[in-house]
Each structure stands twice: as C-alpha cells, then as structure tokens.
Amino acid sequence: MYKVLIVDDEHIIVEGLSKGIDWAKYNCEVVGTAGSGEEGMELIRELSPDILFTDICMGEMDGLTMIAGIRSEFPNLQVTILTGYRDFEYAQRAIRLGASRFLLKPSKMEELIEAIGGMTAKLDLIKPNVPSNEGDEETDAAASSYVVTRALNYMEKNYKEKLRLVDVAEKCFVSQWHLSKLLNKYEGIGFSDALNRIRVKKAEELLMDPTLRVSDIAEMVGFIDMAHFSRVFKKWAGCSANEYRNKQK
C-alpha cells in the first residue's frame, strides 16, 4: 500500500482528509499527520511516504521553497497542494517545481479522488530503485536549482551571522547532506566556500570606504579571526585586503 502523509495547520482539514476518505480503496494508508511544514519534513524523512497532501500557507512558511525542497530531495514523492491561496501564477510555479496537483480549499471530494488516482497511477509507473523517471528530469532540475538559489539568497542576507549548513538547509526544506550535494553540483563548491565567497564579495565593497579598517571589515562580514579572514580573502580575491584596496585607488 502507498503511504500517505497529511500536513496542515487546520486540524479540521487533517481530520477530514484522514478519516473522510476510504484510503484502502485506493491502495493507500495514512501513516502520519503534521501541523506545520517543519514537522512535516521531519515525518517525510522518518516515514518515507509515497503521497503528500499539504498546505503551503502555514504561518510564515515559504510554500514554493518547501515544494522545491521536497521535489529535489524526494523526487518520487507525489505532492498535492491544498490551499486557500487563489493565485494562478503561484499555482503554475508550484506545478513547475514538482507539485502533482494544486487544489483550492474547500476541495470537493471528486477533486481529491482525482488527485489520489493521478498520484497512485504515477507511482505505479515508477520503477523500483529508480530515483526519477526521464519525463521528470526537467522538473527535478528546476526544483534543485530553485533550492540552490534560495539557499544563496538566504546566505546573502545573513552572511554576518554564524551560519551553519544545517541552518540554511532547514530554511530550504532539505537535509544538510542534500543541500551540500546541490551546492557542489550547481556551484562547484561546498557550503563553506559558498559562504566565504559571499563574505569576500561584501568585504571588497566595504574596502572601497577608506575610513574603515580592514579588521573592522573582517568582523562586519562575519569573521571572528583576522588571520582566517586574510587567508580566505586572498583565496577568493587573489591578493590581500590591503593590496585590493590599493588597487582600487
């Protein structure tokens, strides 16, 4: 039987879906429910469901990033979105990033049944032990690229903080191992190098201000140790911070 996970912060929706459908009739079984995106991701990794029904407007959660993260890390997981967010363009983007269906609340029973039928039919076609079929390669790539872009954007906004790979991965709804793999695939570098590249770029901008000391700039872009900053800056800029500043005069 196919394993089903239901994620929604509205308890009545979770109850209605889990108890209002004869899941066994469709060769399915509800194996878990969650009330938030974060909890839902934990259960996805713990239970390895085949089908996911989820809202994408829970609190401040970034629904598109969640969809992209799920699709990138779990390419065979079939996802149906249930939401009250009535935006056609948003729905199109969700589908492009890997959602199987996009249903508006309140959803009709025939719509839910059609979604279940479509997802189980897709699962029936997927060969065992194959991460994704050829027809989905474009979607997988779009989702993975989206995750990388979101990760880099988050790092751009928070480079001053003591960022860890796990922190950024959580914001992108993927595991730290998967994000590390994606960064290497799409950027050709690991997490630390990606973060340092951003920090050095910011340092180069700050070096244009002659009133700022190099040691202050190092701290401003997230480095605690000056020697470490010097090594990293030279690696990415090809010269020391002082040499870079002098070249710009």
Neighbours of 24 (CB within 10 A): 9
- Rounded to two decimals, the pTM is 0.81
Order of all β-strands in the sheet with 28-34:
28-34, 2-7, 51-54, 78-83, 101-104
Strand partners, 34: 7
3-state secondary structure of 182: helix
Q: CA-CA-CA-CA torsion for 169, 175, 181, 184, nearest 10 degrees?
A: 10
- Looking at residue 85, what is its pLDDT? 74
Mean pLDDT by 10 residues, the chain (249 residues): 93 91 95 90 93 82 84 92 81 85 88 94 75 62 93 96 94 94 96 97 95 95 95 95 89
Q: What is the pLDDT of residues 177-186, one digit of tens each?
A: 999 999 999 9
Domain boundaries, the chain: 2-137, 194-248
Query: What are 22-26's contacts with CB under 8 Å, separation 24+?
Result: 26/2, 26/113, 26/116, 26/117, 26/120
- Looking at residue 135, what is its pLDDT? 45
- Looking at residue 64, what is its pLDDT? 85
- Looking at residue 130, what is its pLDDT? 52
- Looking at residue 20, what is its pLDDT? 92
Give the CATH fold of the 2-137 domain.
Rossmann fold (3.40.50)
Tokens 């089903």, residue? 4
The CATH architecture annotation of domain 194-248 reads Orthogonal Bundle (1.10)
- Looking at residue 134, what is its pLDDT? 46
